[in-house]
Structure 1
Amino acid sequence: MAKLLYNLGKWAVDHKKSIFGTTIGLIIVLGILAGTLGPRFNEEMSIPGSESVKAMTIIDKEFSSGQDSSGAQTQIIFKAPKNQTLTSTSVNQRITKALNTIKKNKAVASVATPLQLKNLTQDQKIGYAVVTFKDKAPDVSSSAKDMIIDTVKKIRDAGIQAELSGDIDFSKSSSGSTEAIGIIVALIILSITFLSFLVGIIPILTSVFGLGISLLLILLGSRVIDMPSVSLTLAAMLGLAVGIDYSLFILNRFRKQLAQGHSVREAIAIANGTSGSAVVFAGITVIIAMVGLCVVNIPFLTIMGLGAALSVLFAVLIAVMFVPAVLAMLGNKIGPDRKNSFLQLLTFSRKRKPNTNKESNAWGRFVTKRPLLKALFGIVILVVVSLPLGHMHLGLPDDSQQPKDSTTRKAYDLFTEAYGEGYHSNLAIVMETTKETTHPKQAVSELQDTLSQLNHVQMVNPAVPNKTGNDYMISVMPKTGPNDTKTNDLVKTIRDKAKSLEKANHVKIMVTGQTAVSIDLTNSLNKAIPLFASIIVGLAFILLVIVFRSILVPLKAVLGFVLSLTASLGFIVFVIQDGHLTKLFNVSTTGPILNFLPIFLIGILFGLAMDYEVFLVSRIREEYVHKGNARKAILTGIKDSGGVVTAAALIMISVFVGFMLTPDVMIKSMGMAFTFGVFFDAFIVRMTIVPAVMTLMGNAAWYLPKWLDKILPNLDIEGESIMHNVENKSHLN
């Protein structure tokens, strides 16, 4: 691999203009296509074949109220001013006028008023209208959304509270500005690290090219494949972070080779063959983790994983092809690595006395002195942070977790005030008759009686038959909200009770509704996590054994990842679910942890953890192979690679923090998990526990049975063959 990338680096230098022009041209073409066609995301998150989805399909087919039901729906909930009701003449006239304005819009199929729907509260203070659009939510135009917002604003100006809820998102996200903050922080870190704004901006600009290509492809892909919009956010989050890191590693090695007197062309080739090999391996590890989501067999997760893998793939391609071309165009303007650069200070490298401690720095000496104490200290910290994981509750965030000043959150609170918390967790019970069903009405009656007697049920509506009378639907309102554990228990109880009723009456009973869909999704994800984790960790362990020619080093890497994972999940539970430090992180309301967050965190954090493991330990192994002294190899590895790993981690954290600052609770929780996951793994595990444990293991860390060594392929990640050839050439010259 090293020789291939070494030659690829030289080729990139010789064809720098073609590579640069082709990359720019590709982005322009994809940009025009994406801008012309536009995205079409599908926000449905469910599991095809699950009971809740099957029942939902029956409802759509057998109980559809007509063609209007196929379009997106928005609820406008009203609350009358003090001392008035929604039936007061002035209030009713103002609402009716506004709804008539909405009804005239070409994008609207129908409008149902609160009086028509008969949903006014007993005191007639609160009620809601339903606006049905002709198109589904992704296809509703911006002008139609703006019309709804402007109309609602006029209602508010009249002193009537009006809030929006439903299929369409009317919130104005500020994620773009917060993401920009993360990029600016990354630029500052890079500029300080290299004491150069030009050098600092290169990794960011080059990563943006790769990210742009992958995101445009995802936007185009949304036209032909069902995917949620969060796929774009995940791909952007991961692609930007690893793209900056990968470019940074190659740039850093290039400057070191320049400092050693190599020509620009040779320095680029060596950097591509050595650091580029580590980049390719690290990228493959992340891609394996993301593609591994296919084994979960949940379509929307598979698509999200493939989108993230695509962003990593282009980050790697940009790093080993586009970055060398850019370096060739800039040449010596970038300049060699400076001896007093901030990169050394990131791991406390400083020159104490002339000709002493050249092979180590302060952090390396600190960690390797009394290593057992340092290792235990790091492990104890992570274990303590992991403790809240024991009571983690998973689910899909609802509007109650939106910012308190958002219209969706205010609408949620109004619905709760009017109809109770259970309004948001309505369940639909579908009963199908069979050829053996003799008394369908009796079966329906028994089902209704059973449902009415259950705990935590607020209301059971009369059964509604379909046109043929073969199927029945019963709407059930729980007393608790969608993410309350009592609601989860209620769904389980209904399904357990249904089994006996099915046998006695020869019918099929299914529970559905958005709450039931979320519960089924969460349960499936919980079952899939062990399989997914086993496959990812197993494959990565094998790859690390091949790379490091060791058994204990990969084992230590995997166990370190487990500590990072549990600590990051524990911290998320501590903040998002338990409600600690909410003001610091601007968390509006506590709630469950995003149900697919753990499985994504496993894949992404494992890939990133292995990145740092490879970049740090490959340098340690390179030194150990050359000199055979385990402790000195650790000191040299920390001195040479510790700074760039630290800088890379800070950059990745700054990018993830940008996403963590967004108001959207789903993106916020993902950004927070990745931020603290990287922090725990890079600074506590890789920079502290790993060197401490390796110091304790000594030479045994590199033990590999001879029979295994003979059959394992040599990937030459450290670029030993390249450096050997380069040294021979220099001797001949």
Structure 2
Amino acid sequence: MASLLYRLGRGAYRRRRAVLAMWLAVLAALITCLAAFGAETDDEFRIPGSESQQAMDTLKASLPSAAGTSAQIVFVAPAGHEITEPRYASVVSATMAKADTAAQVAGATDPIQSKTISPDRTTALGQVRYEVGRADLADTSLAALEETTEAARDAGLTVEVGGSAYGSGADSGGGHAKEMMGLAVALCVLTVTFGSLFAAGMPLLTAVAGVATTLVGLHALTGVFTVSSTAPALASMLGLAVGIDYALFILSRHRSQLATGLDAEESAATATATAGSAVVFAGLTVVIALAGLAVVRIPFLTVMGAAGALSVLLAVALAVTLLPALMGFAGERLRPKPGSRAARRERAAHGSGHGGRLSFGERWGRIAIRRPLITLVTVLVGLLVLAAPARELQLALPDNGSAPAGSGQRQAYDTVSDAFGPGFNGPLLILADTSRATNPQQATAALTDKLRETPGVATIGKPQLTRDGDASVLQVVPETGPNDEKTKDLVQRIRDQAPEWRQQTGAAVSVTGTTAVGIDVSDRLADSLLPFALVVVGLSLLLLLLVFRSLIVPLKASLGFLLSVAATFGAVVAVFQWGWLASAMGVEQTGPVVSILPILVMAVLFGLAMDYEVFMVSRMREAYVHGARPREAILAGSRHASRVVTAAGLIMLAVFASFVPGASSMLKAVAFALALGVLLDAFVVRMTLVPAVLALVGRAAWWLPKWLAKLLPDVDIEGERLNRAATPARSGASRADAHTCDPGVPVGAGDTLLPPVR
């Protein structure tokens, strides 16, 4: 691997103009595809194979108006008046008649005629049914519906329009302000890390190039595949974070080698070979984790994982091709100036100059391993305490109750909940198949009575016959809201009673609707957590086994991840369910967390955790295989890698945290979990717990059975073969600075020896 990347880095350095032109051509081709094939994103939740989805598909074919999305128009009379007063009732009826003719509307129910009026007679609830699902609903259709309410507002009524047609307020607004905020923080961190504004700009340039390419590619694919609006946001967030981190890792190695006198071209090739190998394997762990989302068998989540994996793959590709090319354009300008802070710091890291003063990373490493058992126990206790609330984690899909407080759909949701009850915001649809009943009408009536007697049911609407007359659809309004555990219990109760009711009434019952689909999605995600974890962790353990040729290191890496993710979930419960610091985080309403959070955060955080593991431990193992004793190797890794891991962790923290303010309820919780997870994993687990564990086990950390060592291929992440290939060249070199090179640097300045590709 190192030999191949060495050639790739040197080739990109020498042919920098061709590499830059190639990436520009790729971006131009994707822009062309976007213009030709691009379409809108699709936020429809589908869960193939579930009872709710099968019933929904049946309704789409037999009764489209019931399967389509719906909207609510809420009319509230002025204070001291009733909505049933003739002057207001007539306006309500006229408004609903006008809404019935709006674009894509299949039908509208007048609340005055259907008597959908609150007990205090101040509020009326009109229903608007669309002939298409929310994904196929044009934006102009909702605008046209809102225009129909102008006359009612002019008459003095308070009118709010909401319902499932509006989604859950996923559009958080703000354009690219969140990304710009993260970039600004990243620029500051990189400038401090490199001591150079010029060097700091290069990781940002490659990361932005990767994000732009990913987003254009994803939107170009919307004409072929179903892509949710959350997928590009996740890809942007991930691509920006890992793109900066991967470029930072390679560029930091390049600058470190330049500070010791290595030739610029040779340094670029060597940094790509050594640090680039760690980047490739770190990227592969993230890709494996994200691709593992396909295990859940939910299309929108699979697409989100694929989008994130694409952004990571592009970040890796840019780091090992475009970055060396940019190094070629920069040339000697990246070399720290003699006497500068950066030059003194690099020479201190290699054991010379700077008065023998230890770097922060080495000082932190010495503290961690001075009393390794005490460090281990302290970290474990702290993480377990933080993880304790995770036992109460509740999951649900977002609805209009989690939309921004000032939005129309949120105001409509709250008004309906207060005036009619929370269940009116999430009714269930019961598909009653009466094709085998002796008397279909009597069977439907009997089923209606059974449903009305069921605990948890508030009211039942009038049955609607399907086109073929073989089935009826009943709207069942629960007593509780769509995200309430009691609503989930009601759905399960109806499904449990369905076989018995079929024998008694002759009607086969299926529960569907937006609320039931959301419940089924949450259940599928919960059931998939264990197989997902086994697949992802198993594959990643194998990959880490190849990289480090050790049994202890992969196991330690996975256990550390489990601790950090458990602590993260505990903090999510405290903030988003219990309300601790909720106002500071901009959380407007506490309650169940979006159901995709655990599995999505596990996928992303596991990959990022392995990034830091590879960055830190690869430098430790590099020192160990070059003859350092175990504790010396730990300190060497801390000395060389801690600054980079610290910068990478701060950048990722900033990027993820920048998505928290103003984000949708779904993305806010995910971004918070990722930001906190990175903070815990980078600084508590990888920089503190890992050195302590390695110090406790000593040489056993690098032990691998001989029989297993023979079976596993040697991927040579440290570039040992480069060292051996460079020995003849180095022995004949007469340069004065040959002995000041970074340990592990295989080739001196001006050498042209190319190692064979493995």
TM-score (norm 2): 0.89
SS of 2:162's partner is strand
SS of 1:294's partner is helix
Map 1:515-594 to 2 at 5 A: 515-594=515-594
Query: Which whole-Å CA distance do the structure 2 matches of 1:456 and 1:134 have between them?
Result: 29
Query: Which whole-Å CA distance do the structure 1 matches of 2:150 and 2:258 have between them?
Result: 62
**Corresponding residue for residue 402 of structure 1:** 403
SS of 1:403's partner is coil
Query: Which whole-Å CA distance do the structure 2 matches of 1:278 and 1:515 have between them?
Result: 45
Residue 461 and residue 380 in structure 1: after superposition, are their counterparts in 2 closer, same or farther (change >3 A)?
Answer: same
**Corresponding residue for residue 387 of structure 1:** 388
SS of 2:314's partner is helix
**Counterpart AA for 1:639:** R
Cα pair 1:175 1:659 within 8 Å, conserved: no
TM-score (norm 1): 0.92
Query: Which whole-Å CA distance do the structure 2 matches of 1:25 and 1:246 have between them?
Result: 23
Residue 48 and residue 423 in structure 1: after superposition, are their counterparts in 2 closer, same or farther (change >3 A)?
Answer: same
| Higher mean C-alpha displacement, 213-222 vs 75-84 | 75-84
SS of 2:477's partner is strand
Residue 350 and residue 495 in structure 1: after superposition, are their counterparts in 2 closer, same or farther (change >3 A)?
Answer: farther
Give 1:12 shift.
Answer: 0.7
SS of 2:176's partner is helix
Query: Which whole-Å CA distance do the structure 2 matches of 1:25 and 1:188 have between them?
Result: 31
Q: Deviations over 1:279-335 (max 9, x none)?
A: 111111111111112222222211211111111111111111111111111112223
Cα pair 1:459 1:476 within 8 Å, conserved: yes
Residue 51 and residue 631 in structure 1: after superposition, are their counterparts in 2 closer, same or farther (change >3 A)?
Answer: same
Query: Which whole-Å CA distance do the structure 1 matches of 2:372 and 2:336 have between them?
Result: 35
Give 1:139 shift.
Answer: 5.9
Confirm whether residue 47 of structure 1 aligns to residue 47 of structure 2. yes
**Counterpart AA for 2:230:** V
**Corresponding residue for residue 312 of structure 2:** 312
Cα pair 2:12 2:321 within 8 Å, conserved: yes
Query: Which whole-Å CA distance do the structure 1 matches of 2:260 and 2:672 have between them?
Result: 41
**Corresponding residue for residue 188 of structure 2:** 188
**Corresponding residue for residue 127 of structure 1:** 124
**Corresponding residue for residue 712 of structure 2:** 712
Cα pair 2:249 2:275 within 8 Å, conserved: yes
Query: Which whole-Å CA distance do the structure 1 matches of 2:152 and 2:29 have between them?
Result: 45
**Counterpart AA for 1:79:** V
**Counterpart AA for 2:395:** L
**Counterpart AA for 2:541:** F
Confirm whether residue 212 of structure 1 aligns to residue 212 of structure 2. yes
Residue 130 and residue 445 in structure 1: after superposition, are their counterparts in 2 closer, same or farther (change >3 A)?
Answer: closer
Cα pair 1:72 1:168 within 8 Å, conserved: no
Query: Which whole-Å CA distance do the structure 1 matches of 2:250 and 2:727 have between them?
Result: 20
**Corresponding residue for residue 160 of structure 2:** 163
SS of 1:262's partner is coil
SS of 1:76's partner is strand
Give 1:617 shift.
Answer: 0.2
Cα pair 2:694 2:701 within 8 Å, conserved: yes
Q: Deviations over 1:328-387 (max 9, x none)?
A: 111122233887349979x99999983475897211111111111111111111111111
Query: Which whole-Å CA distance do the structure 2 matches of 1:438 and 1:574 have between them?
Result: 55
Please, what is the CA RMSD of the aligned residues? 3.1
Q: Deviations over 1:546-567 (max 9, x none)?
A: 1111111111111001101111
Give 1:101 shift.
Answer: 8.4
Query: Which whole-Å CA distance do the structure 2 matches of 1:480 and 1:107 have between them?
Result: 30
SS of 1:223's partner is coil
**Corresponding residue for residue 376 of structure 1:** 377
Residue 467 and residue 214 in structure 1: after superposition, are their counterparts in 2 closer, same or farther (change >3 A)?
Answer: closer
Query: Which whole-Å CA distance do the structure 2 matches of 1:693 and 1:292 have between them?
Result: 29
Give 1:474 shift.
Answer: 2.2
Map 1:622-637 to 2 at 5 A: 622-637=622-637
Residue 31 and residue 354 in structure 1: after superposition, are their counterparts in 2 closer, same or farther (change >3 A)?
Answer: same
SS of 1:361's partner is helix
Query: Which whole-Å CA distance do the structure 2 matches of 1:431 and 1:343 have between them?
Result: 78
**Counterpart AA for 1:586:** G
Residue 690 and residue 88 in structure 1: after superposition, are their counterparts in 2 closer, same or farther (change >3 A)?
Answer: same
Cα pair 2:458 2:478 within 8 Å, conserved: yes
Confirm whether residue 647 of structure 1 aligns to residue 643 of structure 2. no
Give 1:388 shift.
Answer: 0.9
**Counterpart AA for 1:458:** A
Cα pair 1:175 1:663 within 8 Å, conserved: no
**Corresponding residue for residue 614 of structure 1:** 614
Query: Which whole-Å CA distance do the structure 1 matches of 2:56 and 2:142 have between them?
Result: 27
Query: Which whole-Å CA distance do the structure 1 matches of 2:377 and 2:643 have between them?
Result: 23
Cα pair 2:97 2:110 within 8 Å, conserved: no
Residue 536 and residue 227 in structure 1: after superposition, are their counterparts in 2 closer, same or farther (change >3 A)?
Answer: same
Residue 81 and residue 43 in structure 1: after superposition, are their counterparts in 2 closer, same or farther (change >3 A)?
Answer: same
Map 1:250-261 to 2 at 5 A: 250-261=250-261
Q: Deviations over 1:606-662 (max 9, x none)?
A: 110000000100100010111240001001100100110110011011010011223
| Higher mean C-alpha displacement, 159-168 vs 115-124 | 115-124
**Counterpart AA for 2:623:** E
Residue 349 and residue 681 in structure 1: after superposition, are their counterparts in 2 closer, same or farther (change >3 A)?
Answer: farther
Confirm whether residue 2 of structure 1 aligns to residue 9 of structure 2. no
Residue 51 and residue 541 in structure 1: after superposition, are their counterparts in 2 closer, same or farther (change >3 A)?
Answer: same
Residue 427 and residue 348 in structure 1: after superposition, are their counterparts in 2 closer, same or farther (change >3 A)?
Answer: farther
Confirm whether residue 83 of structure 1 aligns to residue 84 of structure 2. no
Residue 396 and residue 628 in structure 1: after superposition, are their counterparts in 2 closer, same or farther (change >3 A)?
Answer: same
Cα pair 2:422 2:479 within 8 Å, conserved: yes
Give 1:116 shift.
Answer: 6.3
**Corresponding residue for residue 491 of structure 2:** 491
Give 1:11 shift.
Answer: 1.1
Residue 131 and residue 197 in structure 1: after superposition, are their counterparts in 2 closer, same or farther (change >3 A)?
Answer: farther
Query: Which whole-Å CA distance do the structure 1 matches of 2:350 and 2:125 have between them?
Result: 65
Query: Which whole-Å CA distance do the structure 2 matches of 1:158 and 1:28 have between them?
Result: 54
Query: Which whole-Å CA distance do the structure 2 matches of 1:152 and 1:642 have between them?
Result: 61
**Corresponding residue for residue 448 of structure 1:** 448
SS of 1:239's partner is helix
Query: Which whole-Å CA distance do the structure 2 matches of 1:458 and 1:536 have between them?
Result: 44
Give 1:106 shift.
Answer: 6.8
**Counterpart AA for 1:289:** A
Residue 710 and residue 192 in structure 1: after superposition, are their counterparts in 2 closer, same or farther (change >3 A)?
Answer: same
Cα pair 1:565 1:605 within 8 Å, conserved: yes
Query: Which whole-Å CA distance do the structure 2 matches of 1:477 and 1:145 have between them?
Result: 24
Query: Which whole-Å CA distance do the structure 2 matches of 1:461 and 1:142 have between them?
Result: 29
**Corresponding residue for residue 268 of structure 1:** 268
**Counterpart AA for 1:563:** L
Give 1:531 shift.
Answer: 0.6
Map 1:443-482 to 2 at 5 A: 443-482=443-482
SS of 1:354's partner is helix
**Corresponding residue for residue 674 of structure 2:** 674
**Counterpart AA for 1:75:** Q
Give 1:569 shift.
Answer: 1.1
**Counterpart AA for 1:239:** G
Cα pair 2:172 2:664 within 8 Å, conserved: no
Query: Which whole-Å CA distance do the structure 2 matches of 1:657 and 1:115 have between them?
Result: 48
Query: Which whole-Å CA distance do the structure 2 matches of 1:277 and 1:288 have between them?
Result: 17
Query: Which whole-Å CA distance do the structure 2 matches of 1:423 and 1:360 have between them?
Result: 57
SS of 1:78's partner is strand
**Corresponding residue for residue 325 of structure 2:** 325
Cα pair 1:432 1:471 within 8 Å, conserved: yes
SS of 1:119's partner is coil
SS of 1:216's partner is helix
Query: Which whole-Å CA distance do the structure 2 matches of 1:339 and 1:86 have between them?
Result: 77
**Counterpart AA for 1:285:** T
Q: Which runs of 5+ in 1 are unaligned?
A: none
Give 1:584 shift.
Answer: 1.6
SS of 1:45's partner is coil
Give 1:543 shift.
Answer: 1.2
